[in-house]
Structure formats: C-alpha cells, structure tokens
A and B are shown apart, each in its own frame.
Chain A
Amino acid sequence: MSTMIAARPAESTAAIVTAGVDVGSSAVKVAVVRTEADGAADVLALCAERIRRRELRKVIREGFDEALRQAAIAPSDLAYVASTGEGELVDFRRGHFYGMTTHARGAKFLMPEAHAVLDIGALHARAMLIDSQSRVLAYRMTSQCASGSGQFLENVARYLGIALEEVGETSCRAKNPQVVSSICAVLAETDVINMVSRGISTSDILKGIHVSMAGRYLKLLRAAGAESPVAITGGLAMDVGLTEALDEQARKEGAEIKVLTHPQSIFAGALGAALWGGFRHRVLARRAEARN
C-alpha cells in the first residue's frame, strides 16, 4: 500500500475518497479508498464484520462506521459509496456494481499480474477470466448443488472444533487425505462424521475437503477459460490449505496454474466497488462539467 499522497489543486481533478461495501452471505466487508485523477489509489481503511446471524442492516452500519473511524473521515467526505453483493440493504449507497465486476477490479488492484480471478465466498465460487483493464471476459459460477464453498468448510471446521484460521495449517499437515464424494454439503457433512468415527485425522479430513474443492474450482476455472496466474479473492483466499491443494491438483492435472493470494483478498469486492465508485464519480463529474 503506497503511503504517498499526491496533492492536486484543481477541483475537478482533485483526489477523491470513496467507499465500497460488499455485503456477502457470511460477512460484510467495507473498504475506503482515496483515488487520484490518474487512477493511483490508496487504501485508507478495510473492515470486515462477520454476520453470524445478526441483523444485517445493523452489521452493515457497524462495519461502515468502523471503516470511517479507521480512515478518520466523516461520511460527508465520501465522494461515492458503492455497494456490491447483496447491495439492496446498503440504503446509503450511491451506486451498485455486480459482484464479478468488483472482484475483478479488486483482484487486479491487489495482484496486478493476475489474468484470472477465483472468488470463493461463503456460498458461491466464481471463476473469471479478466483482461488488463480488469474487464471480465468470461466467467463461470458454481450452481446450486455444490458443496465446497466457504460455508461448508466453516461448518466442518466448527464440527471438528477447529478455528477458521487454523484450517489451512491443519490441512497442510495431512498425510493421507480422504476425499469427500458427496456433492451436497449436507450429505458431505455426514461423510465427514463418518470419517471422524472411523478415526481419520482432522488434517486428513480437511485436506480431503480441500482437494475436492480444488478439483471443482479447477473445473470452474477451465470452463471459464482462465489463464495463469489466478488471483484468489474472497474469504477462502486466506486458507493456505486450499491454495496448496489448488496448486497440487493443478499440477496433478497437468495444468500450470500459478495461484496468487493477498492478505487483503477478502476485501477484493469492497475494494473493487470503491474503485469503480471513483471511476463512476469522475465519469459523472465530467458529464456534469461538460453540460455546464
């Protein structure tokens, strides 16, 4: 993250501050970004609030307020608030961008060398092929009947009594991963229970899940025609077990896929929204100026 803030005097070309609010199914993510007229951008604040069965509007508000506090700005300082994900609930938004649009933008911002994005959230996974301007050229999403998204992993982790943060390392210690066959998350959970009662180690179970998830994601990536390197965004980017499994599976299937992650991957959607917000703000401002 650059700390250099270039000061620009002219009104229409001044730096602006925008916010992106990504309302996911498991967490609300907020990003506050300052952009220069030349497109250089700086992250001022990032904040994630897990929803965990709390009232969504309240969670959104809390996350937003917290982000503003971190950025030390007032709501009136914001030139544009963009929502993404389930954005209807962000009643203070100015515009909305669709999820893949924002994830692509956010991914490219965090990991400029990416040619493809794999966004793995709580309920869906989507693979996108993007170009240098973070335009989504092709994509695939998992359909309904697909376990192996974040929520499933989360349930299993809870069930195994492992904190989400430990899932990755635990999985990496596996010696003999046990593959889960069911496509349905509910039935897969039962498979997991079976494994526990067969005395299979937590590592092997988690790794097995990661391997089968990785297989599914690779399929998704291929279907979207994705090219290496692939940037992972969404909550599961934090999961080293998964990224390792992705690497291994790709190699096993003879695909050369370089997997990129970034500590702020989970904020890709929010960042993308904030950045597109900035873009949109300038387009609108230019239009207004042109009219005057």
Chain B
Amino acid sequence: MSPAKPGALAEVQKERSMELQKEMIGSHYDALSTAPETGRKVVYTFVPGNLTELMRAFDVLPVLPEINALQSGMRNLSGDYITEAEKHGHSEDVCTYVKCDIGMLKKGNIGPTGKKLPKPDLLLLSYTGCFTFMKWFELLREEYDCPVAMLHVPYQSQGVIEPHHRDYVVKQLQTEVIPKLEKVTGLRFDEERLRAKLRLSAQAEDDLVWVLESAKNVPSPIDAYFGGVYYIGPMFSAFRGTAEGVEYYRTLRAEVAERLSAGLGPVVPEGQMERERYRLVIEGPPNWTNFREFWKMFYEEGAVIVASTYTKVGGLYDRGFRHDPKRPLETLAEYCMGCYTNLGLPTRVNLLEKYIRDYRADGFMINSVKSCNSFSVGQLLMLRQLEERTGVPGGFIESDLVDPRYFSAANIKNRIESYLQMIEQKRSAGNPA
C-alpha cells in the first residue's frame, strides 16, 4: 500500500460527496430563510417516520428540529439553549433535543446557517418510535399559532407490521395529514406526484444500503457510524424523493466503490485511517457536542465502526424495505412503522446480532444517551443478550446527545481504552505471538 497516493485520493473523494451535501443543505436553508418572501409553506416534522415524499408532493419545505438541535450541539450552542429552556421551567431530566430546540426558539430561532428559521405553517407530528415527540410538538404548539397534524404510528412490539396498524396509519393519512396539508398549501393531493417522489426515494435507498453494506469488507472502506451519520443526512432529512438525493447517493456510492477497490479504509478528520485494528458495531446515537473528540477516541486506536443502529432511526432499509410507488400511502405507513426505534426490543437485539455476525465485528459498543429513553431503556439487557448469543464482548458508555454536561471525556476515554485493551488482550491470548 503506498501511503501518499491514497491520502491524496481520499482528499478528493471526500470533497465531492461532502461538497454536494453541503450545497444541498445550504440551498435548503436558503429556501427556508426566504420562505416568508417566496410564500413557500413550512412544515416542522421529525426525522423518524418523516413523510418527506408527501411533503414534497405538496411542495412544502420541511424543518427538522432534531437536526437543528444536533447542529447546535456540534456548534457548541446547545449548552446555552438547554440552559435557556431549563430557565423556562423545563426539567433537567428530560430529552435535551427538546430543550435545545425550545432554547433555540426562545433565543430567536436562528438556524444552523445563522439565518432565522421561518415559523411553521403546520406542525406535522408523526409520533414514531418515541413518545417524547408528541410532547415536543405539544410544547411547540404553545409557541406557534398553527395547526397540528397528528399521526399516531403504533409501536411494532413484535417487530412485524400488523395489518390493522397499517390501516390505522393510512386512515390517519387520509383523514388527518393530507387534509391539513391541503388546507395549508391550498393544493389538492396529487397521488401521481407522490408516486414519482417515492420512485426517486427507492433509487437513493438502494445506493445508501450498498454504501452501508460496503462495511462488510475487511478493511471496511467506511466508518458506518461517525461517517455514517453524514451518509444518512440527505436520506433522513429533506432529500428523500428528490433528484439531488439520488445524485448524492450515486456519487457517494461511486466514491466508496473506488475506495473499496483500492483496499482503503475510512477517511477520518485527520485524513486516511491507517490500519483497521478493531471492527465494532455500535448501538445508540452519538454525542454531538464532542463529536470529533468522541470519534477520535476510536480512530486513534484503530477502531472502525462497521455497522450501527443509529443510522437506521430514520428508516430501516437493509432488511429490504423500499418505498413502493405502487402503494403510496401504505408504503408511507410501513416506512413509519418500520423505523428502528419503533420496533420491539427483541427485534432490535436480533438485528444487532445479525450485524455483529454479518459484519464480522470484534466487539460491540453501546453508547447510552441520557436523553433518549426510546433508545436507552433495555440496552443493558441487550448487552447481556448479545454477549451471550455472539460470544463477542460488549462495551457500555454513557453520554448525552447535546448536553455538554453529560460528556465526561475522561470517563468515556477510560472505558473505550479499557474496552479496546481488553479485546486486544483477548486476541493476543488467542494467538500467542
């Protein structure tokens, strides 16, 4: 392996898809900040179970408060926002995404690009995989004088979608969501338009799955968690069902394919990763306030994340689901119900088990975030079960999404180090040098 060339190659590659994503996001926020002038309607909604294709079919602009919150976390603003929300009586015990968003709102609703975010014309509350969402928009409803479309997505405790649950969601789309979108936009629902969007989604979804599954190779050309959160960006946010989305994933796939054929590992902030020493699967969202620092704790020890569940919260595609233009409303309902955290715990464990095996992982790590009961409750049992079933050791760390007070770098580093040293010790005992 010649070290100089791949490094340069990686630089170029990194730029293409990342630039593309940057542009897409930039122009989306531009469209948002000019919405009051252009008159485009703005809908606030959530990542898990977002109805982007439907919104696009109505030509509205989505705002995703979670993305704003995580962006605030990455830009070191979340601490202040959370304090601001707590000052307004929000408890220190609850999800910090909510508090970060409310704090941002109270401080003028300046979005990640430094421009003010427009007020919502509709709060599209699709309640998928997490109970907090419902309270979140109830809280926002108090702030904005705008209609709320509530879509209750039932939990799939058995991990398979129950037909009458699908009917329930479709019914709500027909009687609650679509009429409200029609009312807000003044447009009639156009099923053909929706189908067209769904078709684009499915294309991009194929490429995304290919990229994520490229991590099955040794060495893996991608980091499926720290890198993965960038890869899922367009898919989980505003760009499903768009031509830009399709283009992004095509580009990304090509880049990864190139890296793969060159036998290269992932690109990390400091350049090309040298050597893949550990292959890990991660359960749980990352920490955003210290994202780089957190990532570094892994890559500087040669740990690559080959699969993660967090990259499935906004859609679980690697079990075969694709948006299906033939059954537009049903497919939306199934998409919502099939998101990772909307599935019962046993299903989540099965999925992780499969990842550990299919991706030939040396270990798995759970990052348990204080904010998120939806993810975190039961993770300690998952840890036990997975260790028993796979014989692969698990690690457990605790942090938070965007509350800087809960990222204790020394403790986390200590645990990661101890964990990796343990894998190393085990390995060297297995095949004595």
Contact = CB atoms under 8 A, between A and B. Distances in A.
Counting chain A CB atoms within 10 Å of each CB, the highest count among B86, B87, B405, B408 belongs to B87
A223 B87 CA distance: 5
Contacts of A182: 408
A158 interface: no
Contact of A183 (B83, B86, B89, B405): B405
Nearest to A221: B87
Contacts of A222: 87
Contact of A181 (B87, B89, B405): B405
A84 B68 CA distance: 48
Interface residues of B, number: 6
Contact of A223 (B86, B405, B408): B86
Interface residues of A, number: 6
B207 to A, nearest CB: 42
Interface string A173-210: 00000000111000000000000000000000000000
A127 to B, nearest CB: 12
B405 A219 contact: no
Nearest to B89: A223
A222 B408 CA distance: 26
A219 B83 contact: yes
A29 to B, nearest CB: 31
Contacts of B89: 223
Nearest to A222: B87
Contacts of A219: 83, 86-87
B109 to A, nearest CB: 18
A179 to B, nearest CB: 12
Interface in A196-236: 219, 222-223
A23 B32 CA distance: 59
Interface of B: 83, 86-87, 89, 405, 408
The 6 closest A-B pairs by CB, nearest first: A222-B87, A223-B87, A219-B83, A219-B87, A219-B86, A183-B405
Given A183-B405, A223-B89, 9 more contacts: A181-B405, A181-B408, A182-B408, A219-B83, A219-B86, A219-B87, A222-B87, A223-B86, A223-B87
11 contacts: A181-B405, A181-B408, A182-B408, A183-B405, A219-B83, A219-B86, A219-B87, A222-B87, A223-B86, A223-B87, A223-B89
